[in-house]
Amino acid sequence: MKDKAKEREEKIQLVAIVSLVIHPQACQRDRMDILTGCTGSIAAEVVKCTAKPVIRHVGYLFRFKKIVDDLIKAKTDLQLEQQKVQEAIERAAMNNEIAEKDVERWLTNVNQLMEEVQALENKVQVNLRFCNGWCPDWIRQYKLCKEAIQKTNVVKELQDKGKFSELTHRAPTPGIEIFSSSDFEVFESRKLAFQQIMEALHDDNNKRIGMHGIGGVGKTTLVKEVHKKTKELNIFDEIVMTVVSLTPNVRRIQERYGKGKSNMLKIKSVKKILIILDDVWKDVNLEAIGIPSCDDHRGCKMLLTTRSVHVCNLMRCQGKIPLNFLVEEESLALMKKTAIVDDCPGLNDVVLEVVKECKGLPIAIITVGKALTGKSLNDWNVAMHQLRKSRLVDIEGVDEDKNAYACLKWSFDQLKRKTKLCFLLCSLFPEDYNIPIEELTRYVMGLEEDEDFHVLEDARCQVHAAVNSLKDSSLLLEGFDKECVKMHDMVRDICLWITSKGENEFELRACTRLERNTNFERATAISLIDFNTEQLPDKLVCPRLNILLLGGIQNCSKEISNTLFEGMNCLKVLKLHDIILSSQSLELLTNLRTLFLKDCDFSDDLSSLGKLKRLETLSFCRCGMVALPSELGEMASLKMLNLTNCDKLKQIPSNVIGRLSQLEELIIKESFKNWDVEGTTSEISNANLSELNSLPRL
């Protein structure tokens, strides 16, 4: 009853106010008539409701602009106070201090209030735009005035509460510090490992700390968090982090961090240094990389990650910290966050079953979760049954990994065909390799013959779309720069396993060592990059082979036999790196569509290349030829010619480039410069820039 009476009173006030605003003279003239014409009780109520309240409230309408201006000023003052507090907290953070709880609550309340004030300002603007401000909604304006006055009082009150005696306090010890990365899941199992690492780093008795766990369990992610936190807390003067991998590329590590003794002296000169070695598979010769023994450097600490506790022992780690699988509760939380699962009784049961099949492996949970984001209950049921059917009993030593492999295989099965192709091609590169997306594009163009890949730029778009899809699914990782990607070791393992099952059009063989009895007869894709062999064979019998990557040969001659490729009639894509060859060895590869030669030298004049009539992309990168053969002009299908960094190239015969009618891209960077100019004569007739005008697709 009281609420209804109050509502009736407010309505009478509003009617009186609006009447007074619209017809002030009439209201004043007829005031007595209105009162005398009413019954006693009604007149009394009108007088009661419209006397002092009307005089007070009608002022809202005439002071509308000032009321709004007062609110904006109060808001601005509060924002300035908020900024001062925030800056003080940021300065204190540099001294390892964090905000008091009441300060955090105050900042949260300020942010919330700022949103409310902004919403009110938006309402005011809408009302002012009504009839261009000449005829506003008076009742609405009255209500806005009341709300603005109320908000102004709240803003001023909150500003007064912002006068804190203490803004911050000393942070807890680093071992129990809250993780700083917003994308890092703070689970109890990870908190424990993180705390153990931080405590070990503060312990003078621990010079070497090893964290071990299965591939994909999150070791790299955790040490990156350790890297970030130790840097924030200024525990060390310098922090160095590098990936070692199964086959350490010493030269690549040295190129990034410095070579041998010079780098060792540099490290020794740093008072306190943390060296993080990620993905260590065996005992590492630190001196070869340029890292001194921690025993010789008092302020040096080493943190390494490995899949085997045995490696921790080989590396003489005083502290050995296991990183185990997530428990079921943690796994479920990670899956729900990744797949954005809403609470639904029917769905939650199936999600839990899918989580159980992932066996607590973060990379498997994230991969499956992203694939099922936004999917229906039926999709989750299908996924659950597919995961349960996968069997890996034929893979030795992966009993604990069976369901993790099955999860990744299931994600692979969901990919579109062209995305699968890009994914499989990435596994041909060595571990921890920065895979150039442009290189992937050329390989896909060589293997695919449908219309989506007829034009170079269209092919690039297709490959970039596939790569982005794989990154979104956590099947590929960001590379060293935006033009490269990487593949997680475990993902690469499952990729090679998938192809070995014979369930795919590809049967990949990626070798680090070439044995005499190695059989490639069933292989459709072979990678021999950075591999060891006593001697290259005279011939490889690979009747089904479509793609071959060969280079980085160690411990034998780099010259290949003219008969090496004789058993590869189906070959479509060939990359040779740091090889000495004769073009005659290639002339039988009549189905070749992509030829990528890098750091290669030649024992003949390359004239035999003219026989590769189906070739579409031809790349010479840092190659040692002096002249291109005139026969190159006979490549009627060639779409790309890349001559990057061929600084010895002095001759391109006249009308060779001009005859390449299908050419879409000609890349000559830090290379051939002896272009002929029209109207001049020279002993050697070289290509003329005017030839480019005759190429309609360039």
pLDDT in tens, 338-372: 888 876 667 888 999 888 887 788 888 888 888 88
pLDDT single digits (tens) 595-653? 999 999 998 888 889 899 999 999 999 998 999 999 999 998 999 999 999 989 999 99
- Return the ∠ at Cα 411 (arms to 406 and 413), rounded to 5°: 90
The residues pairing with 508 across neighbouring beta strands, listed in sequence order, are 525
Final residue in a domain of this structure, among 322, 342, 357: 322
Residue 451 lies in a domain: no
The predicted structure's pLDDT at residue 502? 63
Question: What's the CA gap between 198 and 219, in Å, rounded?
Answer: 15
Given pLDDT bands bounded at 50, 70 and 90, which one contains residue 681? low
Alpha carbon 216 to its chain centroid, in Å, reads 16
Same domain, 309 and 200: yes
Final residue in a domain of this structure, among 322, 340, 365: 322
The predicted structure's pLDDT at residue 560? 87
Q: How far apart are the first and last CA of the chain?
A: 84
Specify the CATH number for the domain of residue 690: 3.80.10.10
Residue matched to tokens 């994308």: 183
φ, ψ (nearest 5 deg) of residue 32: -65, -35
The predicted structure's pLDDT at residue 4? 54
pLDDT at 2 over 90: no
DSSP string, 85-109: HHHHHHHHHTTTEEE-HHHHHHHHH
Residue 622 lies in a domain: yes
Kindly give, in sequence order, each residue whose CB lies less than 8 Å from that of residue 157, ignoring residues fewer than 6 positions away. none
Looking at the chain, the whole-number percentage of residues with pLDDT higher than 90 is: 20
pTM of the model: 0.56
Specify the CATH number for the domain of residue 265: 3.40.50.300
The predicted structure's pLDDT at residue 628? 92
Closest to 293 in 3D by CA, of 305, 301, 282: 301
Question: What's the CA gap between 428 and 144, in Å, rounded?
Answer: 67
Residue 466 lies in a domain: no
Question: What's the CA gap between 686 and 653, in Å, rounded?
Answer: 5
Neighbours of 42 (CB within 10 A): 11
Question: What's the CA gap between 538 and 430, in Å, rounded?
Answer: 24
pLDDT single digits (tens) 384-410? 877 776 543 333 333 444 446 665 777
The predicted structure's pLDDT at residue 594? 95
Residue 11 domain boundaries: 2-62
Token reading at 137? 């909604």
Token reading at 475? 């099947």
Same domain, 78 and 164: yes
pLDDT at 436 over 80: yes
The better pLDDT of the pair 197, 252 is held by: 197
The residues pairing with 280 across neighbouring beta strands, listed in sequence order, are 245, 306
Residue 553 lies in a domain: no
pLDDT single digits (tens) 21-69? 444 444 444 444 433 443 344 444 444 544 455 555 555 555 778 888 8
pLDDT single digits (tens) 496-528? 777 776 656 666 766 655 666 667 788 888 888
Residue 99 lies in a domain: yes
Looking at the chain, the whole-number percentage of residues with pLDDT higher than 70 is: 73
Number of H helices, E strands in the chain: 23, 20
Please answer whether residues 373 and 380 qualify as being in contact, where contact means their C-beta atoms are separated by less than 8 angstroms. no
Same domain, 292 and 394: no
pLDDT at 182 over 70: no
Closest to 257 in 3D by CA, of 272, 271, 269, 239: 239
The predicted structure's pLDDT at residue 439? 94
Same domain, 331 and 318: no
Beta strand residue intervals within 410-501, DSSP E = 435-436, 477-478, 484-486
Same domain, 391 and 273: no
Please answer whether residues 144 and 65 qualify as being in contact, where contact means their C-beta atoms are separated by less than 8 angstroms. no
What is the number of structural domains in the chain?
5
The predicted structure's pLDDT at residue 31? 40
Token reading at 516? 């005499």
Closest to 246 in 3D by CA, of 611, 646, 532: 532
The predicted structure's pLDDT at residue 33? 44
pLDDT single digits (tens) 244-270? 876 666 666 665 555 544 555 555 666
Residue 670 lies in a domain: yes
Same domain, 57 and 72: no
The predicted structure's pLDDT at residue 243? 81
pLDDT single digits (tens) 101-141? 888 888 888 988 988 888 888 888 877 665 455 555 667 77
Residue matched to tokens 């924002």: 79
Final residue in a domain of this structure, among 114, 137, 168: 168
The predicted structure's pLDDT at residue 572? 95
Same domain, 107 and 34: no
Same domain, 202 and 317: yes
Mean pLDDT (the chain, rounded):
78
Same domain, 129 and 151: yes
Same domain, 161 and 180: no
Token reading at 580? 């000495």
Neighbours of 418 (CB within 10 A): 18
Task: Tell me the average pLDDT across 313-332.
Answer: 90
Token reading at 58? 């009608």
Same domain, 308 and 191: yes
Closest to 554 in 3D by CA, of 532, 576, 580: 532
Same domain, 100 and 153: yes
φ, ψ (nearest 5 deg) of residue 410: -60, -45
The predicted structure's pLDDT at residue 383? 82
Q: What is the CA radius of gyration of the chain?
A: 37
Please answer whether residues 142 and 67 qualify as being in contact, where contact means their C-beta atoms are separated by less than 8 angstroms. no
Please answer whether residues 270 and 243 qualify as being in contact, where contact means their C-beta atoms are separated by less than 8 angstroms. no
Q: How many CA atoms lie within 13 A of 572 on its CB side?
A: 12
Residue 518 lies in a domain: no
The predicted structure's pLDDT at residue 597? 94
Residue 521 lies in a domain: no
